[in-house]
Amino acid sequence: MKKTLIALFLALIVSPLQAHAQDDAKKLTPKPPANPSQVLLEAWNDIGRKLAAMAEDFPEDKYDFKPVPVERSFAEQLLHAANANYFFINPLVGKKVPEGDPKRDQYKSKAEVVAFVKKSFADGAALIKQKGDSGMSDLMLDPFSKDQQVRMSDQAWGFIEHSGEHYGQLVVYYRVAGLVPPESRPKK
């Protein structure tokens, strides 16, 4: 009986210590990084989400707002950023790159602009998923130089940066118009 009580007592003491040691081991073992194409896709989708949120949020009656007359309007900024994605997408799907930005009169309503922004990022995301890690390492001609090869992933990262630059410009449009951008609002 004494041996049973001692064994039970030791089991009660050792059991939580083992569980604690296992928890510590889990904390010390970091998760492996995501695959490069997954990281790229997350960044692509994140900036696409931000621009789409702005496109949906900004009042339609202010879509032609310009901080100063020589700048693009809010809608034109969105159309430019979304259209630029096709300089990455089109060569990889066998299409010609766009010849300039779409005109505002081609996308008259807020809904049409929103749809174009969302489609351009969805098309890019589908391409990145399709190519995966190995495909994103393939080479393509830089659509701006015509004689320089670049990795597909490098092109995608460049267009993510380009979209981020326009996101920053659109934040200024919000502020000058007396509005708060969606990403700057308190999270619920």
pLDDT tens for each residue of 59-82 = 999 999 999 999 999 999 999 999
pLDDT one-digit tens code per residue, 144-188: 887 999 999 999 999 999 999 999 999 999 999 999 999 999 987
Please report the sign of the dihedral spanned by the C-alpha atoms of residue 148, residue 149, residue 155, residue 158: negative
Task: State if pTM tops 0.75.
Answer: yes
Residue type, 57: D
Is the pLDDT assigned to residue 21 strictly greater than 90? no
Q: How many domains does the chain have?
A: 1
Cβ-count burial of 59 within 10 angstroms (0-12 exposed, 13-18 middle, 19+ buried)? exposed
- Asked whether residue 122 is assigned to any structural domain, the reply reads yes
- Asked whether residue 45 is assigned to any structural domain, the reply reads yes
- Asked whether residue 56 is assigned to any structural domain, the reply reads yes
Range of the domain at 58: 36-183
- Asked whether residue 149 is assigned to any structural domain, the reply reads yes
- Asked whether residue 43 is assigned to any structural domain, the reply reads yes
Burial code of 93-124, b = ≥16 C-beta within 10 A, e = fewer? eeeeeeeebbeeeebeebeebbebbbebbebb
- Asked whether residue 116 is assigned to any structural domain, the reply reads yes
Do 47 and 157 form a contact (C-beta atoms < 8 A)? no
- Asked whether residue 9 is assigned to any structural domain, the reply reads no
CATH code of the domain in which 84 resides: 1.20.120.450
